[in-house]
Amino acid sequence: MNSSLRSLTLAASTILAVATVASTAHAASYWTPWVSEENGGPAAACQSDYEAATGVGCQGSYCDSVRLYCRTMPDNVYLDTTSTYWSGYFSEETSGVSSYRTAGWYRHGGDNYHVCNASGQSGILSGIKCRGGYCDDISVRCSQPFVFVNRAKYYVHMKDCAWSAWYSEENGSIDFGNNRHVTGVRCSGSRCDNKQYYVCSLDLDNLTLVPRDIKVLN
């Protein structure tokens, strides 16, 4: 191979390597540490605004400790930190949950559940914390996913949503998989022993333009 061809080949390989690193630089998937109500009830939370929960773990009596499986969202989707909020605490005290929906999205909450919902817009769960004995009361952190298209910011809606089976410490930890995001939690059984998860996929074909006064890409 002559020197010119060798140089071109090396340059092409370098460009490909840089592009590959750039495309995977944010790729991450990991379990958070276990948390419970002890030590002030610290939160188990995803670390970055491009990560959200696709799984949940449970261990100890009455599902005393919980954790999240955090995964980088696909297609350069991020969480809008200006929309982030912690839900009120909920537990198993009321077990009936209706299928009532508002603005095309699941009703945001009741005594025994919370589904991420801001002004009728779908959200994704990225944190969880407890209070009360055996992690009796649950609060979740929610944010709206968004993507930039032609320098404009659009909220991403969700699709293929369904409540999971019930899980407790007997089942250990569950990861629902790539682009299967946890968007809500509900409880049953003493001290919120059993938990069910509202799981959805990002719908990149269903976007809502964010008002320009919130934020646009410079």
Condensed to tens digits (0 to 9), the pLDDT of residues 123-177 reads 999 999 989 888 889 999 999 999 999 989 999 999 999 999 998 878 889 999 9
What pLDDT does residue 181 have? 97
Task: Write the pLDDT tens digit of every residue in 54-77.
Answer: 999 989 888 888 999 999 999 999
Q: Is the pLDDT of residue 10 over 90?
A: no
Beta-carbon contacts of 54 under 8 Å, excluding residues fewer than 6 positions away, are 69, 70, 71, 175, 176, 177, 178, 179, 180, 181, 182
Cα–Cα distance, 27 to 17 (Å, whole number): 16
What pLDDT does residue 26 have? 67
Q: What is the mean pLDDT of residues 71-88?
A: 94
What pLDDT does residue 121 have? 82
What pLDDT does residue 97 have? 45
pTM of the entire predicted model: 0.79
What pLDDT does residue 91 have? 86
What pLDDT does residue 105 have? 65
What pLDDT does residue 41 have? 81
Beta-carbon contacts of 105 under 8 Å, excluding residues fewer than 6 positions away, are 115, 117, 120, 121, 122, 157, 158
